[in-house]
Structure 1
Amino acid sequence: MEPSAEDVQVATAWKLHYLACTCVTLATFWTYDYISLLHEEWTFLLQSRWTKLKALYIVARYIPFFFIATDLYMIFTPNENPDKCRMLINIYSCFGVISLTCSECFFVLRTYALWNKNRTLLATMMFALVSTIILFIGIWFTSIATSDVTTSAIPGMVGCYRSSRSIYFFMPFLLLFMFALGLVFLTLIRVIQSWRTVRSPLRTILEKHNMFYYACSLLLSAVNVLMPVLFSYVSAYYSVLEHFQVLILAILATRMHLNLWHTDQHVHDSNVLLYIPMSNMSPTDCMV
């Protein structure tokens, strides 16, 4: 039997309610992360010299605030016009693309440092990143244009969301997964080389090479690819998965950079053989 109009309205209302709860949760998590690192972050901002890398950090760190604000506005304001909703989706998607690009740049620069500033490798990674982002933008905004935008017809219920069963729904994050997989592969090569040379515990070398950050980035992309494929009913909640990846990737990239900078300020022990200094990530001699 076809669901009645009342059943559809109730289902839409519940979806909007769950989306609102998850958006608030993500916003709270991001705010908590910002507050918990406030002292370390302002120490970095006030004491570090101005470089392109510092500017990249600021963009990567604060663009998600605009991303979150746009999303919360879309969820918690009365919105009965699908065109307005699609416009807001496009706006927060632009912020999301900027945030993802900046975050991935940190992983590229970290890999560049791990490979002793190999310019050929840097040029290859930057070409791969630019190609990935261009394709990502084209596919993501195509998926938005072909998605169904749903608003609630129940008085008192606000917000809207998009859903789709198109293959375009997860293709952008398949590109990010492939790019992240390449960075993980390059980093693992350096881990194995260091392990054979230094003969230190493997876990220590993995930590020094920031493999946790790389692995989380790869896992996030894998989840965004697999969830829509394995569970078609999550399509209405797919924006939550998108938001989660944008925010967590920004946290991972900026935390990695902040941790490297603070470590660089306190490392004076010549016996720290596995440490790869923050100065090796300086963009003054690279292509960003």
Structure 2
Amino acid sequence: MPDQQCTCVTLATFWTYDYISSLHEEWTFLLRSRWTKLKALYIIARYIPFFFIATDLYMIFTPNENPDKCRMLINIYSCLGVISLTCSECFFILRTYALWNKNRIVLVAMLSTLFAIMVSFIGIWFTAVATSDVITSTIPGAVGCYRSSSSVYFFVSFLLLFVLAVVLVFLTLIPIIQSWQKAKGHLHSILVKHNMFYYACSLFLSAVNVLMPVLSSYVSMNFFERFQALILAILATRMHLDLWRNNWHAHDSDSLECISMSDRLPEDPTV
């Protein structure tokens, strides 16, 4: 159990470092960009992980001998994680939508897939939480409460996220490859310009969480569950900041009429 405390502190430290290191850029964006629905989504995606981490720290480090209270904390923690994952995936979907030149059919297909997967994810995840054993601070040297079992339900939950990541990577690669074929530029430059490596990281994390229940212990699996929720939030919000910064530098901020997430895919990767 002390390993749980160590991993929790490690992730909290990592998140805090990332927030501090990007604080100037983030507040520049918050103060200078227009208020839009996407900006509201950014704020939710960026700051929900703070509550997610705070709940996790409280759950693990606060002595708790009440199993009902412990299960309630785990449910709150799980809800915050689901909200964070959903907001992060929305950013990837909107970026893919922009790369498809705002094709509404593609948008509806992606949002429908996201809705179906997240509803299934929530149902499976909370079924797993409800059927898991809850352990309170009865073990010497350990405080707080923990979810003890690594049910197959958790494996299925992250398998669904992996499927969503594969779909987004596939849909994103299509316009990127088409642009590369037309422009005859360097494929690496096009991939970097259009944030393909953010998608690759998302896909990799989903794959790790699918494999962890099979290859490793519960503690390691639980670490990667937290890690995916936090890293996806970082990737999604940093991708949006990069897009906004590039767009803001290219245009006068007073005449900016559209947010950077809606930029279309240029045919020339050197533009």
Fold match, TM over 0.5?
Answer: yes
Q: Percent identity?
A: 72
Match of 2:68 among 75, 83, 100: 83
Is it true that 1:280 corresponds to 2:258 in the alignment?
no
For residues 157 and 26 of structure 2, the distance between their equivalents in structure 1, rounded to whole angstroms, comes to 31
Given the alignment of the two structures, is residue 242 of structure 1 paired with residue 222 of structure 2, yes or no? no
Change (3 A) 1:154 1:132: closer
**Highest CA radius of gyration, 1 or 2?**
1
| 1:237-285 C-alpha deviation (Å, 9 max, x unpaired) | 43321110000000000000001000001126xxxxxxxx815169xxx
Residue ranges of structure 1 left out of the alignment (5+ in a row)? 1-15, 269-276, 283-288
TM-score by length of 2: 0.91
1:263 to 239, 243, 246: 246
1:170 to 127, 138, 155: 155
Instruction: Give the match for residue 4 of structure 1.
Output: none
2:210 is aligned with 1:225: yes
- What is the CA-CA distance between 1:69 and the residue it aligns to? 0.2
Q: d(CA) in 2 for partners of 1:227 and 1:243?
A: 13
Of 79-88 and 117-126, the range deviating more from structure 2: 79-88
CA distance in 2, matches of 1:117, 1:213: 20
TM-score by length of 1: 0.86
Aligned partners of 1:80, 1:279: CA distance in 2, in Å? 47
- For the pair 1:59 / 2:73, whether they are aligned, the reply is no
Deviation per residue, 1:137-188 (Å, 9 max, x gap): 0000001011122223245631221132431021111001001100000111
Query: Is the CA contact 1:23–1:71 (under 8 Å) kept in the aligned structure 2?
Result: yes
Do the aligned partners of 2:94 and 2:261 also contact (CA within 8 Å) in 1? no
**Match among 41, 56, 59 for residue 74 of structure 1:** 59
What are the ranges of 5 or more consecutive residues in structure 2 without an aligned counterpart? 252-258, 265-271
User: Cα gap change, 1:147/1:280 in structure 2, threshold over 3 Å: closer, same or farther?
Assistant: same
Q: Give the Cα separation in 2 of the matches to 1:154 and 1:188.
A: 50
Alpha carbons of structure 1 residues 170 and 263: separation in structure 2 relative to 1, 3 Å? same
Change (3 A) 1:217 1:34: same
Q: Could you tell me which residue of structure 2 aligns to residue 101 of structure 1?
A: 86
AA aligned opposite 1:206: L
Distance 2:244 2:60 in 1: 37
What is the deviation of 1:230? 2.3
Deviation of 1:114 after TM superposition, in Å, equals 0.3
Matched, 1:120 2:102: no
Distance 2:191 2:237 in 1: 19
Q: Distance between the aligned counterparts of 2:261 and 2:120, measured in 1?
A: 32
Please give the per-residue CA displacement for 1:120-153, whole angstroms capped at 9, x wherever unaligned.
1001101001111100100000010111222232
Distance in 1 between the 2:88 and 2:42 partners?
9
1:151 aligns with 2:151: no
Aligned to 1:28: 13
The answer to whether the 8 Å contact 1:149/1:161 transfers is yes
Instruction: Name the counterpart of 1:40.
Output: 25
Structure 2 counterpart of 1:238, which letter?
M
User: Residues 154, 122 of structure 1: CA spacing in aligned structure 2 closer, same or farther, 3 A cutoff?
Assistant: closer
CA distances 1:9-48 after superposition (whole Å, capped 9, x unpaired): xxxxxxx211101100100000000000000000000000
Name the residue aligned to 1:11: none
1:39-98, CA deviations, whole angstroms, 9 ceiling, x for partnerless residues?
Answer: 000000000000000000000000000000000001110012222211111001100011
Q: 2:116 is aligned with what amino acid?
A: S
Summarize the alignment of residues 162-201 of structure 1 with structure 2, pairs less than 5 Å apart.
162-201=147-186
Number of matched pairs: 257
Judged with a 3 Å threshold, the aligned counterparts in structure 2 of structure 1 residues 78 and 281 are, in CA distance, closer, same or farther, namely farther
